[in-house]
């Protein structure tokens, strides 16, 4: 076993006394602000900006508290604390989001200071999980383990966490700002749908550097990020990002919330003019003050040193015997397990998408179990993915069968990572005051329709993403099949898009036709799948490739023939 003693952490950034003092002071500040709100000294409008900067939303039925999980990495100890809080202050579960965070949906205002105090005990907080600031920096959930990794994105994401937290110049930007970093050959972080997307690479000398994509984002006006600079050296990494944020802070619109994101600024200024402004600002910043010292980088890198892997053969006889004896396990192994850079180890995705379940939800008992399994099998750490699953990144191949049996017994053994059952869905109208339609019941209905794991394998790679409103928290624009909830005179309808792609070849999906009802939407997804299976050239041709080859017409004809 990769057993690690309780409280010990591998691959986790260790807070120092400065971090802890800062978080503790913020908790006490917020405690006093909550007391003023409860006493009536602060109105809701006066309290709103304060609570948002501490991750507290007022939704349809209750307060929602969003907990930061920086770059999606946490320890087993931290996950157990999240489970404990969910039992004590919520309804026994938490919801993992596309920002690699966790949300509690049924929080009482008077309990939030106590919750934040308990989070601080395990080096967690809710700072800047809302508001017009730099939000949680996300990265590849396979970071530090993936066979195709070039640069460890955690190092630079942690540097950005420290640099952006309460940055005095960027606390009140024109609009929220999201950054993603990928350091692998494959993009598992959807970098080009972010305000800033960074591809970490190495040059011919082995030096780390970054390609900067700017102006991506979904929502009311979806845009794919544009390449602003092909290469920024590691020492200039912070300075170049600061230059981008300064240009955005100066020119970004504050008169219209719908035109306030940096994607609109890039679009209206034009890429050439925007790049010129950034380069001029970068030239002013470039120098000793903003140079990222290699010693700082190395100091952060030490927190993410590889765990003590054993020297193992890459081939596992125990694994082969288990595959041969249990077809369900063999299926999970093919779908949910990825190659690891260390021989004898594997990366296991824990699906939070059981058939008919709510995407991203985990009960507190399930969180406790995953924490136990992380300590037993993955050096005491785990990751949250932007597709609302969890990852145990360092599992011995010999132990995969035991891991899966424990997961499966707890409803966490679904073999659907990347398949049609691996649905992204925002909370929608069940919780969110901004939503036009429910997303959760539709996700559950589609998941139940395609529950058969063998059928899912037959269909192959096909991502469905559902948003309850145009804000696109469910990333529907980049789903191979995207679904957007809309309101038509008080009735919920769903608009279907096809052809979205969240990888390096990012594409925004196209609307297939008129919006349909919830029942019709489930049937429409089945019809789309049927047309795909009838037209693909073989099991190796993905849905997205078939769509590009045959076009939209066969799908539209099948769905809207009755009209």
Give average pLDDT by consecutive 10-residue segment, the chain, 563 residues: 45 92 97 98 96 96 97 97 98 97 98 98 97 96 98 97 93 96 97 98 97 97 98 98 98 96 98 98 94 96 95 98 98 98 98 98 98 98 98 98 98 98 97 96 98 97 97 98 96 98 96 96 98 95 97 96 64
Q: Which residues pair with 125 in a beta bridge?
A: none
For residue 121, give the nearest of 15, 50, 9, 8 by alpha carbon.
15
First to last CA, the chain: 60
Domains of the chain: 17-121 (3.90.480.20), 145-303 (3.30.413.10), 317-410 (3.90.480.20), 424-560 (3.30.413.10)
Q: Are 187 and 180 in contact (CB under 8 A)?
A: no
Provide the angle, in degrees to the nearest 10, between the axes of the packed helices 543-550 and 518-535: 80
Distance CA 334, CA 415 (A): 8
Q: What angle, rounded to 10 degrees, do the helices at 262-269 and 271-285 form?
A: 110
* Per-residue CA distances from 141 to 105, 339, 351, 387, 481 (Å): 24, 13, 13, 10, 23
The answer to whether residues 81 and 119 touch, using CB atoms and an 8 Å cutoff, is yes
Q: What is the pLDDT of residue 3?
A: 43
CA 410 from centre of chain:
23
**Cα atoms in the Cβ-side hemisphere of radius 13 Å centred on 185:** 3
Instruction: For residue 113, report the phi and psi dihedrals to the nearest 5 degrees.
Output: -60, -40
Q: What is the pLDDT of residue 390?
A: 98
What is the pLDDT, as a whole number, of residue 10? 60
Residue 99 DSSP class: T
Rounded Cα distance between 115 and 534, Å, is 53
CB 123 within 8 A of CB 15: yes
Cβ-Cβ contacts under 8 Å for 203 (sequence gap 6 or more): 209, 231
**Nearest-angstrom CA–CA distance, 52 and 49:** 5
Which among 108, 180, 134, 59 has a CA at the least distance from the CA of 468? 59
Q: What is the DSSP pairing of strand 93-96 with strand 73-75? A: unpaired
Burial of 80: CB neighbours in 10 Å, binned 0-12, 13-18, 19+: buried
SS3 501: strand
What is the radius of gyration, based on Cα positions, of the chain? 23
* 367 close to 124: Cβ distance less than 8 angstroms: no
């Amino acid at each position: 076993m990769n057993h690690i003693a309780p409280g010990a952490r591998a691959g986790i950034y260790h807070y120092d006394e400065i971090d802890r003092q800062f978080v503790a002071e913020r908790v006490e500040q917020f405690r006093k602000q909550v007391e003023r709100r409860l006493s009536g000294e602060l109105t809701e409008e006066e309290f709103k900006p304060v609570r948002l900067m501490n991750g507290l939303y007022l939704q349809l039925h209750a307060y929602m508290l969003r907990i930061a999980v920086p770059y999606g990495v946490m320890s087993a100890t931290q996950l157990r604390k999240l489970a404990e809080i969910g039992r004590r202050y919520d309804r026994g579960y938490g919801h993992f989001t596309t920002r690699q965070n966790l949300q509690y949906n049924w929080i009482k205002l008077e309990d939030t200071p106590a919750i934040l105090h308990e989070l601080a005990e395990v080096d967690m907080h809710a700072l800047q999980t809302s508001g017009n600031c730099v939000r949680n920096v996300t990265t590849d959930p396979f970071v530090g383990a993936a066979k195709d990794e070039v640069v460890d994105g955690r190092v630079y994401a942690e540097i950005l966490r420290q640099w952006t937290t309460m940055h005095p110049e960027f606390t009140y930007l024109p609009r929220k700002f999201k950054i993603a970093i990928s350091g692998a050959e494959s993009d598992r972080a959807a970098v080009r749908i972010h305000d800033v997307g960074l591809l970490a690479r190495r040059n011919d000398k082995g030096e780390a550097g970054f390609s900067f994509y700017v102006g991506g984002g979904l929502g009311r006006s979806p845009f794919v990020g544009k390449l602003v600079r092909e290469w920024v050296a590691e020492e200039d990494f912070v300075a170049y990002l600061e230059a981008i944020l300064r240009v955005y802070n100066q020119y970004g619109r504050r008169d219209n919330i719908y035109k306030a994101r940096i994607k609109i600024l890039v679009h209206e200024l034009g890429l050439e003019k925007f790049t010129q402004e950034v380069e001029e600002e970068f030239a002013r910043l470039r120098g000793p003050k903003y140079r990222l010292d290699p010693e700082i980088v190395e100091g952060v890198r030490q927190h993410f040193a590889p765990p003590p892997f054993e020297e193992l053969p890459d081939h596992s006889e125990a694994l082969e015997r288990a595959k041969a004896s249990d077809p369900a396990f063999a299926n999970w192994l093919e779908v949910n397990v990825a190659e690891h850079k260390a021989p004898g180890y594997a990366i296991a995705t824990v699906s939070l998408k059981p058939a008919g379940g709510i995407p991203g939800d985990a009960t507190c008992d399930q969180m406790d179990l995953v924490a136990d399994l992380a300590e037993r099998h993955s050096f005491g750490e785990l990751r949250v993915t932007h597709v609302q699953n969890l990852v145990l990144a360092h599992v011995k191949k010999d132990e995969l069968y035991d891991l899966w049996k424990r997961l499966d017994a707890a409803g966490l053994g679904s073999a659907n990572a990347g398949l049609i059952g691996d649905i992204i869905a925002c909370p929608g109208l069940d919780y969110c005051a901004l939503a036009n339609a429910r997303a959760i019941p539709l996700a559950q209905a589609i998941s139940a329709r395609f529950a058969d794991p063998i059928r899912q394998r037959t269909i192959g790679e096909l991502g469905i993403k559902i948003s309850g409103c145009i804000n696109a928290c469910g990333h529907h624009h980049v789903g191979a099949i995207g679904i957007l909830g809309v309101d038509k005179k008080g009735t919920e309808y769903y608009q279907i898009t096809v052809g979205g792609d969240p990888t390096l070849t990012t594409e925004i999906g196209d609307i297939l036709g008129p919006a349909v009802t919830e029942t019709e939407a489930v049937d429409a997804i089945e019809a789309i799948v049927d047309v795909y299976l009838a037209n693909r050239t073989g099991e190796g041709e993905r849905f997205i490739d078939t769509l590009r080859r045959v076009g939209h017409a066969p799908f539209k004809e099948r769905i809207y023939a009755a009209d």
